[in-house]
Amino acid sequence: MKVAIIKYNAGNIFSVDYAMRRLGIEAEITGDPEKILSADKVIFPGVGEAETTMSYLKAHNLDNLIKSLKQPTLGICIGMQLMCKSSEEATSGKVDCLGIFDEEVKLFVPDEKTIKVPHMGWNTVSAINGNPLFDGLTNDPYFYYVHSYHATVGIDTIATTDYINKYSAALHKDNFYAVQFHPEKSGKVGELLLNNFLKL
Amino acid sequence: MLAKRIIPCLDIKDGQTVKGVNFLNIKSVGDPVELGAEYSRLGADELVFLDITASHEGRKTFKDLVKRIAENISIPFTVGGGIHELKDVETLLAAGADKVSINSASIKNPDLITEVAKNFGSQVCTVAIDAKMASDGEWTCYLNGGRVETDKKLFSWAKEAQERGAGEILFTSMNHDGVKQGFANDALRVLSESLSIPVIASGGAGKMEHFKDVFVDGKADAALAASIFHFHEIAIPDLKNYLAKEGIPMRLV
């Protein structure tokens, strides 16, 4: 199986590659459109800031490329946020994103100061309609999160987490899947989810 | 519900795990990757690896070790020790670390926190603070593993670190470290309630009740310990089951 990990100006891309190797998959980290288009599975990972990563994608025409993908594609963390309609993580307060999912990405605004932002650590994820991405993952498993922005809940939401407010932990539409947490850093349950994605 | 985190800390010298008791008297407790993988299997929520090697060759060894950890361990890990400049941070993140812990260098050069946050995001930037309470109750920050006193005070420095872009504060109480009589819960509570970023408590874990106290009274987001885990005085699964029974949100594996 050919797995492409999209290379762009976001951090933490290598940890997804390491996670793939632990599953016995030699993925290719690449920004080459042909390699991405010909892969069986595409992963769009990363940790970063929405506005700068979005401008990079546009400058390298990766925005249209990602939208045109037909194979199963998994966005992780900032990858998921960039697949949404827009994000508040921008100097102007709003940046247009890829618009694959109809959700908006908003900053966490805690109502008491004892609630910490970023949302960092392990939190429970509730899958809501038996999506194959969550096969074998019952009883609201804990996944590892690090983020200050979150996608709203809507028609494409397949799992939610409650932190400050309920938000989309995972989204799915057609061939596009996305998770806000880091499966590559979530121990056994993360490996299970990545394996589920590879089986799609 | 966001779980409270249990974090074993591994001190590394020349590629081997060590733990100083009161920052002195070092005993070797094994291979870092093996020990880290075992902790991950037992349910540790994160790992911290601190490089206490001084030599240039040791640094290179540590970088190679970070890569091996990233390849083999599927939970988040923080690395620290000997970070002086942005380049060091870049090297460790490129090797696969999820976060870096900056201690002395952040006090000597607070702009480093700003630069790390700007270049790599706050989420990678843990500011570690070693502080000691004097008889008048005031907490003062120390450098170089607790050997050099500074003019920085714990609470104001933690606040400044947050404003500069720190993503987490790792606070070690030198009064409590190695003594095994519990964490510095009063100071931790003040820290946690005055900051909007997570606080990791370090120093003082001796028995399971101490962890309950640090989460309930100290309001810590995470608790870090070393020797009690390395020397099998407390097993992580027992600890997490105990805390879950006490009503503290825990990820049980």
Classify burial at A35, counting beta carbons within 10 Å of its beta carbon; exposed 0-12, middle 13-18, buried 19 or more.
Answer: middle
pLDDT at B20 over 50: no
Cβ atoms < 10 Å from Cβ of B232:
7
B98 given a catalytic annotation: no
pLDDT tens per residue, range A84-109: 999 999 989 999 999 999 999 999 99
Above 90 in pLDDT, residue B147? no
Chain A residues touching B40 at Cβ < 8 A: 187
Instruction: Kindly report the nearest CA distance between residue A170 and chain B, in angstroms.
Output: 17
User: Domain with B235 in it: what CATH number?
Assistant: 3.20.20.70
Expressed as residue numbers, the domain containing A27 is 3-199
Residue B143 inside a domain? The answer is: yes
Quote the distance between the C-alpha of residue A117 and its chain's center. 19
Contact B70 A18 (CB under 8 A): yes
Count of A–B CB contacts within 8 Å? Answer: 92
Angle of helix B32-42 versus helix B56-72 axis, rounded to 10? 30
Q: Does A71 touch chain B (CB under 8 A)?
A: no
Q: Comparing C-alpha atoms, which of B95, B155, B160 is closest to residue B124?
A: B95
**Number of domains, chain B:** 1
B252 in a structural domain: no
Please give the residue of chain A at the shortest CA–CA distance from B43: A187
Which of B4, B74, B86, B236 to mutate to test binding with chain A, by most A CBs within 10 Å of its CB?
B74
In the numeric block, which tokens belong to residue A165? Answer: 């407010």
The beta-carbon neighbor of B121 closest among A14, A21, A48 is A48
Q: What is the mean pLDDT of chain A?
A: 95
Quick check: bond before B237 cis, omega within 30?
no
Q: Which residue range(s) make up the domain with B227?
A: 5-245
Cα gap B244→B253, rounded to integer Å: 12
Least confident range from B11-15, B175-179, B224-228: namely B11-15
User: Residue B199 domain-assigned?
Assistant: yes
Total residue count of chain B as it appears in this document: 253
* Chain mean pLDDT for chain B: 91
Nearest CB among B4, B74, B196 relative to A191 is that of: B74
Nearest partner of B125 among B113, B133, B137, B136, judged by Cα: B113
Q: Provide the pLDDT for residue B19.
A: 57
Is B21 a member of any domain? yes
pLDDT at B24 over 60: no
In a domain, B253, yes or no: no
Q: Give yes or no for residue B29 having a pLDDT over 80.
A: no
Does the distance separating the beta carbons of A187 and B75 come in below 8 Å?
yes
Determine, yes or no, domain membership for B250. no
**Across the interface, do B96 and A15 touch by the CB < 8 Å criterion?**
yes
Q: What is the pLDDT of residues B65-105, one digit of tens each?
A: 999 999 999 999 999 998 999 999 999 999 999 999 999 99
User: Comparing C-alpha atoms, which of A165, A150, A7 is closest to residue A77?
Assistant: A150
What is the tally of structural domains in chain A? 1
Residues in a beta bridge with A168: A151, A160
Q: What is the ipTM of this complex?
A: 0.91
Task: Confirm or reject contact between A136 and chain B (CB < 8 A).
Answer: no
Averaged pLDDT, A11-24: 91
B150 pLDDT higher than 80? yes
Residue B22: predicted pLDDT: 36
Assign residue A80 the CATH number of its domain: 3.40.50.880
Interface touch A188/B98, C-beta < 8 Å: no
Mutate to test the interface with B, among A9, A16, A18 (most CBs of B within 10 A): A18
How much is the average pLDDT of B160-180? 96
Q: Average pLDDT, stretch B169-182? A: 95
On whether the CB atoms of residues A145 and A154 are closer than 8 A, the answer is no
Q: How far is A65 from chain B (nearest CA, A)?
A: 26
Asked if B168's CB is within 8 angstroms of A121's CB, the reply is no
Task: Tell me if B51 is assigned to some domain.
Answer: yes
Average pLDDT over residues B29-35: 79
The answer to whether the beta carbons of residues A44 and A12 sit under 8 Å apart is: no
CB-based contact, A46 to chain B, within 8 Å:
no
Residue B240 confidence (pLDDT) = 98
What is the model's pTM? Answer: 0.93
Q: Tokens for B93?
A: 């993140």
By three-state DSSP, how is residue B23 classified?
coil
Closest CA to B179 of B204, B211, B147, B207: B204
Q: Collapse the DSSP code of B88 into the 3-class scheme (helix H, G, I; strand E, B; otherwise coil) and give the result.
A: helix
Residue A182 falls in the annotated catalytic set: yes
Has residue B23 got a pLDDT over 60? no
| pLDDT tens profile A131-178 | 999 999 988 999 999 999 999 999 999 999 999 999 999 999 999 999
State the pLDDT at residue B26.
40
Calpha distance B67→B32 (Å, rounded): 12
Residue B251 lies in a domain: no
Would you call A97 a catalytic residue per the annotation?
Answer: no
